[in-house]
Chain A
Amino acid sequence: MINFISKLGRNKLALFGAIVILLIVILSIITPVLNLVNPNEVNTANRFIKPFNETHWLGTDHLGRDVLSRLLWGTQLSLVVGFLAALFAAVIGSLLGIIAGSLGGRLDNIIMRTIDVLMSFPYVLLALAIVAVLGPSLMNALIAVAIVNIPFFARNVRGVTITLTNSDFINASRLSGRSQTEILFFEIFPNVTPVIVVSFSTTVGWMILETAGLSFLGLGSQPPQSDLGSMLGDGRSSLIIHPHTSLIPGIMIFIIVMGINLLGDGIRDALDPRLNQGSLTRSKPMTDVARVKIPTKRSNALLEVNSLETKFKLNKNEFKAIENITFQIDKGECLAIVGESGSGKSVTALSIASLISSPPGMISNGSVWYKDEELLGLTYNKMRQLRGKKISYIFQDPLTSLHPLKTIGHQLIETIRTHGNLRTKDASRISVGLLEEVRISNPNLVMGSFPHQISGGMRQRIIIAMALSNNPDLIIADEPTTALDVTVQAQILKILENLRKERGLSVLFISHDLNVVSQISKKIIVMYAGEIVEYGDTDKILNKPLHPYTKALLNCSPDLNSKKLLISPIPGNPPLITEQIIGCKFAKRCSKKTSSCLEKIILIKKINDRQLRCINPV
């Protein structure tokens, strides 16, 4: 709740709206105790007194009634009516929505089709028709406006309810013995409240406007009682000669509706989880780079990463996601990075081609050399040419990497033509060749298919084909087989290996699975909490790990061939990115820990055949 208010407070416009609405609400609450003239006291002798008069601050109207008093009473009435109408619509609409959404079937159909009928009439026409049937009065206007807005709530709430009804936690509570009614009230309802609140706050302004509209047409509040709408209606006839009688209520309506809408939008933004994660803030096409010096190239490797460090800014604090990452990949070599989630393996992969989103990320140290070019200092255009052409990425989820509305062929051809000046026909021929290379048996059929029509394994092969389309030197594959079945995984691994051998392609393979990594890579990097802890030949490291973390990781990865029946877990959890640890970051969970492990920073050192960051190796 505090979180919600502070988020709301950060939105300047919403804060402004909230203050305006608060002032108006306070004003209408204290209206009865203010020493005001009776708003309905007629005094035709004092008609149309101009505003800023001593006795009538805002003048008088065509019957000599005090405008200020009428304005305040009218505001109060309008607010109450609008709020009640919104409340009425919210309660009925949400109830219908929850019932339709959670029970489904025929009841859902009946409710939703009735609501569709309601929605097929224009708002105002429907409200007019309802008032015409019920007879003009403020109460009937309220009912009409509420009915007109029920569909809005019902549809919103039903949509959310349907998603919730099929969710795991609803199933879980059903298995915990909750009845359907209990699920409705204790499990689903708390989760739809934000939707109701948001819909409410965005419609209440609109409802005030609608009731005012009906009153303006003489169908709402009846004389002598008057709300802002009927004041506007009364003043209309003298708009040109005595504009104040209609302008003043008009401005009031404008201020109220604007205030409520600003506040409503603020509430919506503060409650929307997508906006919380900052997914709608636009990130730059390249990661920000802020480093003091650029480490020079030291080897002849195809890709050389030197003391790379990437930071993330969270609430004004900076946290290092990775630091001191140094490695090389030769032509035709496969290097794997293994680590658990949060170890920084993906951040490393994305930092290479400046794909970390900024904000909040930035590269704060180090260099990335591709052949003789330093990648982190490149301009956007140069980097764009390099990405996809020389360095390609393959990600875990092939479905999200493909455009759902374009055929596979279309997307392949597009990718090829972006980087090369080719005719569509030639690009198409190359595409078929690529699909054959990734062992798709009927490439022409697949070229005409949409992503959802083919299986996950096929999709991942198409992603690989796309990555290959411009003859890259390096493929960075971030957990490319994690979402796939073992049989498909084996196919993908084999394809990558063949490409490496036949095309001389270099592969940076990121995975959490030591067994997978041992099959594909010659060299391996083990990462823990943003640092490299062990780096060397795969076979040597996996058969004789020196870092206690590598050993522990191996001990808890189940192996199909091992005789040992039970695996031994690593106690505790990996440190959070926010934790400040001097010395070894694994010490807390390590069985070989000594007091010196946490005293000072432990550097990575070359020991025999590998690099190791540990002072008490296994």
Chain B
Amino acid sequence: MHKPSLEKPILEAHNISKSYEINSSSYFSIKKETIRVIKKLSLSINKGESFGIIGESGCGKSTLARILIGLDTPDNGKIFIHNQNKVNLSSIEINKLIQYVFQNPIASLNPRLTIQDSLLTPIKSFFNYDYEKSIHLIYEMLDSVGIPKTSLKKYPHEFSGGQAQRICIARALLAKPEILILDEPVSALDVSIQAQILELLVKIKKEFNLTYIFISHDLAVVKNFCDRVSVMYYGDIVEDGDTNKIFKNPLHPYTKLLVEVSPTKNKKIQSDDFGELPNMTKPPNGCLFYSRCRRRNEICYKKSPTQINKGGRFVACNFPL
């Protein structure tokens, strides 16, 4: 989805789609079924923004992240980084621009390598500095993320989740990227540690002049952290715009549903029948949200909505709120 802006977008995706084939087998037969995880999705991210992507599990937000970073390739569509087509860039060139922070910090560090070895890797592959310069850089980075230098000879299992996530952030930053994709970076952490990591992310964003893509299922965290947010449903973006506006006055019924059910203090549980994600292998013809929508009518059943611009916000709904 495009946002008219004078600034040049740092990262753009045009109509990317991705589907997987799965074998659904019963006792006597094996059927091949196609699941469309991302369908014709477009987005553009401006330099320096904190861009949030929210959605339920299975909506394709992690697949989108993997495609943007290059761990997966889209079936169709193009991705541009700094106006350069991504297919023309080598993986080293891409990862020098974009880095990734995983959800589970301990699992994303090699259990048999010391922290020092893990941190030396990006410097060696991207810059090939000598050992002394590399160690010096690592010391500086550890200082930025708040990990003592004495930790370098330790192994990942000796750290708590929060510390390990700091180390993972340090590793990503050592590539000197411009964009950091944060895939649920605090969901595996305790609340008090979660807040520490979010604070650290805010600090280093200024320090290193970063652009964030923040993927989360937690609306409250996204609201606290992101300038702009895209709501993903079933492999596509259904609403996109300024975070505060979106959460205050959602335009898409799905966004409204998410806001309503997100638990907050002093709010009692409301209605309880929202259905679940429809079967991915047999997508409906019209609006994908049809089966769960309270505003649906016959038109929605037949016609899949197109994106419309409503006061600088984008929404894909036949009858926006």
Contact = CB atoms under 8 A, between A and B. Distances in A.
Q: Do A and B bind each other?
A: yes
Interface of A: 167-178, 186-187, 190-191, 193, 340-341, 439, 455-458, 485-491, 493-495, 497, 512-516, 518-520, 539, 542-543, 552-553, 555-561, 565-571, 573-574
7 contacts: A168-B107, A177-B124, A456-B57, A487-B274, A490-B274, A513-B191, A573-B162
B217 A486 contact: yes
A487 B95 CA distance: 35
Interface residues of B, number: 69
B111 A560 contact: no
B121 A173 contact: yes
Nearest to B266: A518
B262 A560 contact: yes
A474 to B, nearest CB: 21
Interface of B: 56-57, 69-71, 91-92, 95-96, 99-100, 102, 104, 107-113, 118, 121-122, 124-126, 160, 162, 168, 171-172, 175, 190-196, 198-199, 202, 217-221, 223-224, 247, 257-259, 261-274, 276-277
Shortest 7 CB-CB contacts between residues of A and residues of B: A177-B125, A494-B272, A569-B195, A556-B195, A558-B220, A190-B112, A490-B261
Contacts of B263: 486, 489-490, 493, 513, 515-516, 518-519
A491 B271 CA distance: 8
Contact of B224 (A191, A518, A565, A571): A565
B162 A489 contact: no
A561 B272 contact: no
A144 to B, nearest CB: 34
A451 B121 CA distance: 42
Contacts of A566: 198-199, 202, 224
A197 to B, nearest CB: 13
B71 A559 contact: no
Nearest to B181: A175
Contact of A174 (B71, B219, B220): B71
A569 B264 contact: no
A169 B272 CA distance: 39
A175 B265 CA distance: 40
A539 B271 CA distance: 21
Contacts of A193: 112
A491 B274 contact: yes
A172 B171 contact: yes
Contact of A177 (B92, B195, B266): B92
Given A512-B191, A560-B223, 16 more contacts: A168-B108, A171-B71, A171-B102, A172-B108, A174-B91, A175-B99, A177-B92, A439-B273, A485-B56, A487-B276, A513-B263, A519-B267, A556-B195, A559-B265, A560-B264, A567-B198
Contacts of A552: 192
B162 A486 contact: no
A543 B269 CA distance: 18
A553 B217 contact: no
B221 A558 contact: yes
Contacts of A493: 263, 269, 272
Contact of B190 (A340, A439, A519, A539): A340
A462 B111 CA distance: 37
A104 to B, nearest CB: 15
Contacts of B191: 340, 512-514, 553, 556-557
Contacts of A341: 190
Nearest to B54: A486
Contacts of A518: 263-267
B269 A494 contact: yes
Contacts of B109: 169, 172
B112 A191 contact: yes
A560 B108 contact: no
A490 to B, nearest CB: 4
A491 B263 CA distance: 12
B121 A520 contact: no
B126 A177 contact: yes
Given A439-B273, A558-B220, A566-B199, A539 B192 contact: no
A497 B271 CA distance: 12
Contacts of A570: 192, 195-196
B224 A439 contact: no
A557 B263 CA distance: 11
Nearest to A191: B112
Nearest to B272: A494
A512 B261 CA distance: 18
A177 B112 contact: no
Nearest to B277: A455
A485 B217 contact: yes
A168 B102 contact: yes
A558 B71 contact: no
Contacts of B69: 175
Given A191-B111, A489-B263, A559-B220, A519 B269 contact: yes
Given A515-B265, A573-B162, A486 B219 contact: yes
A567 B195 contact: yes
Contacts of B258: 486-487
A271 B51 CA distance: 44
Nearest to B125: A177
B71 A173 contact: no
Chain B CB count within 10 A is highest, among A491, A512, A516, for: A491
A566 B197 CA distance: 12
Chain B CB count within 10 A is highest, among A169, A519, A542, for: A169
A557 B265 CA distance: 10
A186 B69 CA distance: 22
